[in-house]
Structure 1
Amino acid sequence: MHAWAARVSRDWPPFQVERRGGWRFGVADGVTKRANSALVEDLDADVAEVTAFYRERGLTPCAQVWPGQESVDGRLAEHGYETVEPSLVLSRDLGERPDGPGSTRITDHPTREWVEPFAGADPSRAEGVVRILGGVTAAYGVHESGDGRGCAVLNGDSVAICAMVTASEARGRGVAKTVLWDLLARAHEEGARNAYLCVVAGNGPALGLYRGAGFAEVCRYHNRVLTR
């Protein structure tokens, strides 16, 4: 398995994991592709295993493709799997404590304010995200205005930034930037010395935010999804 694939899955864990046929299958009741996809453990793995596994569970067959897995990518394409959401892994050093503005309320559990941005659109998704994050150690941040939130998954000297959401009417006001810097500051206090995050390659505003905060690309991956 690709090292970054293992690290990302560790910090955004499925509810269940099963290994067979050269694949590592994740299941999280359909909540996010990242937690409901197959990771390559053997470059000779049979694509039919992915199709059968997820269809047996009523989920859309999905596989992540990372660098060095081009042969698997070709076979997925031959089986009708389409490329979805090419993504970047961005990372930055946390040797020094970031100077966060301190305008983010940070807790060690998801508060009602933290959950609301998900729950308004899809309560079941909100429950799923909370359950995923319940499998890791995390810090949950909500901007003092209530218009933005994010999460820092803490694992030793590493922190993964995830679940960043800003209310549409508050975008462009520095809300996300504040939450990001405050979460990085808290992570440093908890011992993190390296931070990373995943972002869809076409999300220009998010890329601008993260690059402005010192994050740089370290890897790329994409999903292959069977939609027919």
Structure 2
Amino acid sequence: MEISATGRLEVRITAADVGKRVSVRRLDDPASEGEKFTDTVGVLASWDDGVLLITRKSGETVHIPEASLVAGKVVPPAPARRRGPAASYEELAHVSSRAWRPVESERLGEWELRAASGFTRRANSALPLGDPGLPLPAALDAVRRWYGDRGLPAYVQTATGAEGTQELLCAELERLGWTREVSAELWIGALAPVADRDEGAGVVLSREADDAWLTRYQRKGVSEVALKVLGSGPSVWFATVPGDGGGVPAAIGRCVVDGRWAGFAAVEVDPALRRRGLATRVMAALARRALEEGASAAWLQVEADNAGARGLYTGMGFVAHHAYHHYRSA
């Protein structure tokens, strides 16, 4: 917190600091006995009518009454991560989008509207990179109409927690009544260490998701549209560890190679066979193939509450790059 020469806490931010990263301390309940403080760090999204909106790295927007502030200051951007490949949010947003291509897309200014009959939110949401060419309320109206014409709910995909992400847009979407339904994280790491984790023996690689692979895939009843999305991307590989007797596979995975990036997804293991290194074996086999195609870096998506996956990926050298969110229209 900001402390003056006299030792007193001071509020050294104003409405002119909207868009900057700030650190504030507030008194939880000014009317209660005793002093209980809460500290908040994030991007100052707005300061209107005596209320500050601060968007944290996680994407959560905190409402803070101006009257409860006891200290505040502008803080520098978080230091750049030293682990993992160098990558901007915009680069990763484009790479991850190409790994789950929609069957239909249209430009709204620099935004991309994507649809695939509802299969995955990433392929059925607006990607708001750049200027939509309209004031935000009008752009969001256009998004609603576009998805409504296709019988789909309107989603906007945003990100927080890295340089160039969209904390201000997240706060504005919430102000306009959009609801954050899903949040996860995109992690990155070097590719070679993934390949070195295991020999990948017994893993069958294919360019198509065959019937056996689909029986293990967690999304049941995969449609023709879903198969198109699964097979989309610059260079797609599917991995299978056959099950006993040629039945349901023991493990599967998917990888999309795109320039220097290899994106891993759908790494799934028979629950009865977990903690036996099958996920590592699948990823290692896919990583080797991606290295042969010239990739050097890797990315994947992980849920915040998936402790097992987070432990596995941390051990492989992956680190969180940013959080991403899907906002649904009211």
Q: TM-score higher than 0.5 here?
A: yes
Do the aligned residues in 2 keep the contact of 1:21 with 1:49 (CA within 8 Å)?
no
Work out which of the residue numbers 150, 161, 169 in structure 1 matches 2:272.
169
SS of the aligned residue for 1:116 comes to helix
Distance 2:180 2:218 in 1: 28
Q: 2:102 aligns to what? A: 14
SS of the aligned residue for 1:198 comes to strand
Work out which of the residue numbers 126, 140, 156 in structure 2 matches 1:38.
126
Q: 1:185 aligns to what? A: 288
Q: 1:142 aligns to what? A: 240
Match status 1:101 vs 2:200:
yes
Distance 1:203 1:170 in 2: 17
Q: CA deviation at 1:31?
A: 0.2
Q: 2:86 aligns to what? A: none
CA deviations 1:72-114 (Å, max 9, x no partner) are 2122212322212221111111256524332211112222211
Distance 1:170 1:129 in 2: 27
SS of the aligned residue for 1:2 comes to helix
Q: Which has the larger radius of gyration?
A: 2
Do the aligned residues in 1 keep the contact of 2:200 with 2:281 (CA within 8 Å)?
yes
Match status 1:80 vs 2:195:
no
Question: After TM superposition, where is structure 1 displaced by more than 6 Å over at least 4 residues in a row?
Answer: none
Q: CA deviation at 1:202?
A: 2.2
1:43-58 to 2 correspondence within 5 Å? 44-45=135-136, 46-58=139-151
Do the aligned residues in 2 keep the contact of 1:150 with 1:164 (CA within 8 Å)?
yes
Do the aligned residues in 2 keep the contact of 1:100 with 1:184 (CA within 8 Å)?
no
Q: 1:86 to 1:119 in 2, by over 3 A?
A: closer
Do the aligned residues in 2 keep the contact of 1:141 with 1:149 (CA within 8 Å)?
yes
| Structure number with higher relative contact order (C-alpha < 8 Å, ≥ 6 residues apart) | 1
Do the aligned residues in 2 keep the contact of 1:138 with 1:154 (CA within 8 Å)?
yes
Identity of paired residues, percent? 29
CA deviations 1:200-228 (Å, max 9, x no partner) are 222222111211222111222111123x5
Q: Which ranges of structure 2 fall in alignment gaps of 5 or more residues?
A: 1-88, 244-248
Q: 1:60 aligns to what? A: 153
Structure with greater proportional helix content: 1
Distance 1:120 1:42 in 2: 34
Distance 1:66 1:123 in 2: 28
Q: Which amino acid aligns with 2:232?
A: G
Do the aligned residues in 2 keep the contact of 1:161 with 1:196 (CA within 8 Å)?
yes
Q: 2:90 aligns to what? A: 2
Higher mean alpha-carbon deviation, 68-77 vs 24-33, is at 68-77
Distance 1:23 1:75 in 2: 16
Do the aligned residues in 1 keep the contact of 2:190 with 2:296 (CA within 8 Å)?
yes
TM-score by length of 1: 0.88
Alignment RMSD (CA, Å): 2.3
Q: 2:216 aligns to what? A: 117
Q: CA deviation at 1:120?
A: 7.7
Distance 2:140 2:208 in 1: 38
Q: 1:219 aligns to what? A: 322
Do the aligned residues in 2 keep the contact of 1:25 with 1:38 (CA within 8 Å)?
yes
Do the aligned residues in 2 keep the contact of 1:103 with 1:182 (CA within 8 Å)?
no
Q: CA deviation at 1:133?
A: 3.1
Q: CA deviation at 1:28?
A: 0.8
Q: 1:209 to 1:128 in 2, by over 3 A?
A: farther
Q: 1:157 to 1:2 in 2, by over 3 A?
A: closer
Do the aligned residues in 1 keep the contact of 2:183 with 2:323 (CA within 8 Å)?
yes
Q: Which amino acid aligns with 2:207?
A: D
CA deviations 1:123-164 (Å, max 9, x no partner) are 32xx33321133322111011331210111112322111122
